[in-house]
Amino acid sequence: MVESWLVELMTTYNEESYTGREAYTAQVHLPGQVFESLVWWALQALPDEILVGLDIDSETPHVEEVDLAFSAQESTSNLFQGQGYRIKEAHIVNRGDSYSVHHLPEDWTDDMFSSSRGSRAGRFTHWLHTHPNAPAIPSGADADAAQETAGIDMILGLRFSPEGPLPWFDDVEGQRRRVGKEAVPQPTKARRRSFFQRQQLPVLGVAPSGHKIHEIQLIAFHKNGLGVNVVLVDEEGYPYGWSQFNDHATSEA
Ligand SMILES: [Zn+2]
């Protein structure tokens, strides 16, 4: 089962995916269970970033009414490999810094994969990598790596503490999407405020690794630079919070 605080965040995220749907040319449905694993793995691998390969389930297309509700008026079909199918599972294939994380170790690239398939090989449909204590905004290296992706690329940005060697780095331009609200330091009532108290951020939840999570960001994009709308779905393929904005959808019609 997905932790309840994550379910709440995913509901908020889906509401924004729904209201902002016209800004996206395509959508991808990511199960909450997989999303939760990604967050835990990201924190277990600190201070490294991780590169995760994502497989789709070719037996399981998006639930049609959900796909319709989240479609923009001008959406593109056949934009990427695996479009229209739910993501099924995730595998960690590499860890490293923001550059090395994109280059697979040799055992992933020799024999099985021809060199023409590039540094990431062609094993998975979609790829996701993490930005520990940094927003989910693609760097130049990220955009380059995405050129070899048959499906889409995703970035999971996390703000957490204790920070270890990675203080929150926010000096990046670009469009970001929070899962929930921005982490804003809260005023503390303590009369003598220590440095740490001054920095106190709201805690969304605590990971199995013991890290306090303050903010989660998740984006998806196609190699041509277009944003892809992410819908976080339950085991049946319906978005968390579906009943809320489904009512809204029918009343608008
Ligand atoms: Zn990156």
Calculate the alpha carbon distances from 222 to 13, 83, 153, 206, 252 in Å: 20, 11, 6, 32, 30
Distance (Å) from CA 168 to ligand 1 centroid = 15
The fold of the 4-252 domain, in CATH, is Cytidine Deaminase; domain 2 (3.40.140)
pLDDT at 39: 96
Burial class (CB in 10 A: 0-12, 13-18, 19+), 73: exposed
State the pLDDT at residue 181: 78
In angstroms, rounded to a whole number, what is the distance separating the alpha carbons of residues 214 and 205? 8
pLDDT at 117: 42
Give per-residue pLDDT as tens, 206-235.
999 999 999 999 999 999 999 999 999 999
Question: Which protein residues have a CB closer than 5 Å to ligand 1 (ion)?
Answer: 139, 142
Ligand 1 centre to CA of 93 (Å) is 15
CA distance 70 to 54: 21
pTM of the model: 0.88
pLDDT in tens, the chain (253 residues): 899 999 999 999 999 999 999 999 999 999 999 999 999 999 999 999 999 999 999 999 999 999 999 999 989 989 999 999 999 999 998 999 998 998 876 655 554 444 444 555 557 999 999 999 999 999 999 999 999 899 999 999 999 999 888 888 888 887 788 887 788 877 665 555 555 545 678 999 999 999 999 999 999 999 999 999 999 999 999 999 999 876 655 544 4
**Angular region, 105: left φ>0, alpha ψ -120 to 50, beta rest:** beta
The rounded Å distance from CA 145 to ligand 1 centre is: 9
Distance 191 CA to ligand 1 centre (A): 40
Q: In the 8-state DSSP scheme, what is residue 178?
A: B
**C-alpha 216 to ligand 1 mean position (Å):** 15
Distances (CA, A) of 152 to 9, 81, 117, 129, 160: 23, 8, 16, 12, 26
Cα–Cα distance between 77 and 120 in angstroms, integer?
A: 25
Q: Under 8 Å CB-to-CB from 153, ≥6 apart: which residues?
A: 126, 127, 128, 129, 138, 142, 145, 146, 220, 221, 222, 223
**C-beta separation of 40 from 183 below 8 A:** no
**Confidence (pLDDT) at 191:** 53
Whole-number Å distance, alpha carbon 5 to ligand 1 midpoint, is: 26
- CB burial readout 12-21, b (16+ within 10 A) else e: ebbbebbeeb
Phi-psi region of 26 (alpha: psi -120 to 50; beta: other; left: phi over 0): beta
CA 130 to ligand 1 centroid distance, Å: 7
pLDDT in tens, 74-91: 899 899 999 999 999 999
Which pLDDT does position 115 carry in this prediction? 47
CA 170 to ligand 1 centroid distance, Å: 13
CB 48 within 8 A of CB 23: no
Say how many Å lie between the CA of residue 155 and the centre of ligand 1.
7
CA of 105 to the centre of ligand 1 (A): 18
At residue 109, the pLDDT reads: 53
Average per-residue pLDDT in the chain?
86
**pLDDT given for residue 101 in this prediction:** 92
User: Helix, strand or coil for residue 249?
Assistant: helix
Q: How far apart are the CA of 138 and the centre of ligand 1, in A?
A: 5
Q: Is 218 helix (H, G, I), strand (E, B) or coil?
A: strand
Distance 73 CA to ligand 1 centre (A): 30
Q: How far does the centroid of ligand 1 lie from the alpha carbon of residue 197, in Å? A: 30
